[in-house]
Structure formats: C-alpha cells, structure tokens
Structure 1
C-alpha cells in the first residue's frame, strides 16, 4: 500500500470512529474454542431468513461479523469474497453478519447493506443482527471478527476466533493467513495451529 493511501486510511479510521474503543452494546465473554455455537435466524439482504441449519451439506461455516462503514471491514471485503469463492465449494461458506445499530451508524442500515452487497457483488448472505443479540452471544467485538465453526453431529463447534490475517493494510504483504489456515486444517482433519488471534477493526456500535 502506498504511504499516502495508508495515511489516508488511518485518518479515516480516526475521523470515523473517534477511538478504538470497544462496542457500546455490552458483550459477555462469548464463545471459546471448543464451545458449541447456537444457531440463529437473521434476515438476509434478499428479505429471506437465514440459519446455519439451512446449509444441509455444510462441513463448517466462516461466520464473519462485518459492516459497510468500517475502514477495516472495507479493506477486507475483497478477501472475504475470495474466502467464500474458495471455500463455499468445499462446504465451508462465508456468512456475513452486520452487528451495528443503524440508529448509531445510518450507513449500516438494511437498505445500505443491499447497496453495498450489490456494489461488491457478494455471493454470500449478508445478514442484519437487527436486535443485536447474536454478536454478544458469540462474543464479537470488532468488524471484521471471524468465527470458524465445524459442523459435527452434536452441533457447530467453534474452531477459530479472531482476525482474517495479519495485515489489513495490504493483502499482498500478508504473512499469516489465520482464517484460511484454520479452514484448511479443519478440512484436512488436522490440529489448527493458531486457534485465536486479536480481531483488528472498528468497535461494534
């Protein structure tokens, strides 16, 4: 990333967010590795309700809490699209959830979500956590925040929590692809080397 573009992005973060404070809505501890995640039913941009149980042939899910407005989320959009393109055909689809309250962040409204998804040609669900009940349950605090779930007979087990990779500024300079490595290990039946990382992004509003 060019220095001027990097500075511009950082200024945008500061001006948009004011600080790197956590979410204004209370968040409990949330899920930990090995926990069984509850299913949900949230509205998609097409007006239909979506649940994890809708994916009968899924081996797992890349659940990503993200939004329209956060500069970090925007920086990761193409990588989220690439993750879905790669892994949905392997049985691990991306499911994106916008956890923000549109009263506090108007550009994260349901209508604006439709616009953003159309602009970026999202091929995955983009759901609204309208009552802000799901993100505290999972323990999401940032956008983006990744939860890799593995579908098992006893439920959807949490296998990885954290960041997509180690460089939000420049996809070409990424050294550790945390989410991708976790999915690969899960699909190969291997132990996931890094199961938790710090999610880097904007606090949920």
Structure 2
C-alpha cells in the first residue's frame, strides 16, 4: 500500500511540474500557425490577420529582462526596418509572467519599447497561451512564418544568428538567410536551430 501511494504521489508531482513548466510541443516547421490577438504597448490589439498584405511575419518571443534578449534588441530593430518594406515585418511577444519576473510588467514593457525606440509591435501574452501554442521555451525564440494559401506557415524556428554577443561576429545569420530564401522562392536550407536565451517564466501552478 505504501509503495502504491508513493508511486501515485510521484506521478502527480511529475504532472504538476510538467504543467507548470511547459504544456505541449508547439509548432514544427511546416505547420500552419493559428491567429492570435494580443495587446501591444500602445494599447492597440494586434493579430496576424492585420498583416494580410505581408509575405510573411517574423514572430519573436522576447522580454525586457533577459540579458540575451537585450543583446538582440538592436538586431531585431534592424531586421524589422530592413525586411518590413520587403514584406516580412517583426512582431515581438513577451510571454513572461510578471509575478515570476517583476521586470516584465506591461508598464515596464511600455518603458522599454520607448527607451529602445522599438519600430515593431511589442505585445503581451498575459495568458501565455500563444507561447504555449508556438512551443516557445526561450527568450529570444524566433518563428518565421510565410504566407501560403492565405494562411501563415512556419518556415523557420530557432535563433536569430549564432553569436548572441555580437552581430558583427555572427558567422551564420539564420533568420536573415531564411527570409532571403523565402523572398527568392527557395526552400529554407537551415529551417531549425536551437534557441539560445533565458527560459520563459511560466505562471506558477
């Protein structure tokens, strides 16, 4: 009886831990992404359907506080400024629970966007459902979507490049290479890389 009780308790603890950490596997390359509607730092709601004329969307899960995210902010701005006119705008989403990470409140998101001069929407994923649907685990975590059959299909998942410390020292610009391949009507040669950054701060069970 005691052994059975301990086994059941162990299984329950595993289930709770799994739920608190991450639910689901998320999208894979080739999946169609479901639309979302999230509030931006300007108070406006943003959906993928707002980008009906885009050739694709660069969805990046990021935040205010992660050192990796901060190192990539200028690169994200540069990518947005370069590729939005070419049909591939950036949408940044903060999935962190501010109760777990107080530096990621909506008000501080607004301040961060103002201080850095973000040129892209910076949205708050209050329920974390969008991050879970995508399968995001890190900040930053990139999902490049391409327009296909009036839907958005996942074409690349992973890191922005292979050097978080310096854009100049990055020998592989994964995201830009993927966008350029889509623009040329080619298949993305490297469509998955490991996202390097801080773990997403999930709501506590």
- Please state which band the TM-score falls in when normalised by the shorter chain: 0.7 to 0.9
Matches of 1:67 and 1:137, distance apart in 2: 18
Distance 1:79 1:65 in 2: 14
RMSD of equivalent CA atoms: 1.3
Provide structure 1 residue ranges, at least 5 long, that are not aligned to the other structure.
1-21
Find the counterpart in structure 2 of residue 56 from structure 1.
Answer: 52
Q: TM-score, normalised by structure 2?
A: 0.87
Return the alpha-carbon distance in structure 2 between the equivalents of residues 50 and 197 of structure 1.
27
**1:30-88 deviations in whole A, cap 9, x for unaligned?**
10010000000000001111001011211000000000000000000000000000000
Report SS of the residue matched to 1:89: coil
**Contact in 2 for aligned 1:36/1:158 (Cα 8 Å):** yes
Match of 2:198 among 192, 195, 202: 202
Q: Give the alignment's TM-score, normalised by structure 1.
A: 0.87
After superposition, the C-alpha distances for 1:91-134 in whole angstroms (9 at most, x for unaligned) are 11000000000011111000000000000000100000001100
CA contact (8 A) 1:23 1:204 kept: no
Measured against aligned partners, the alpha-carbon deviations of 1:15-42 in whole angstroms (never above 9, x if no partner) come to: xxxxxxx995323111001000000000
- Residue-pair matches, total: 184
Higher CA-based Rg: 2
Gaps of 5+ in 2: 1-17
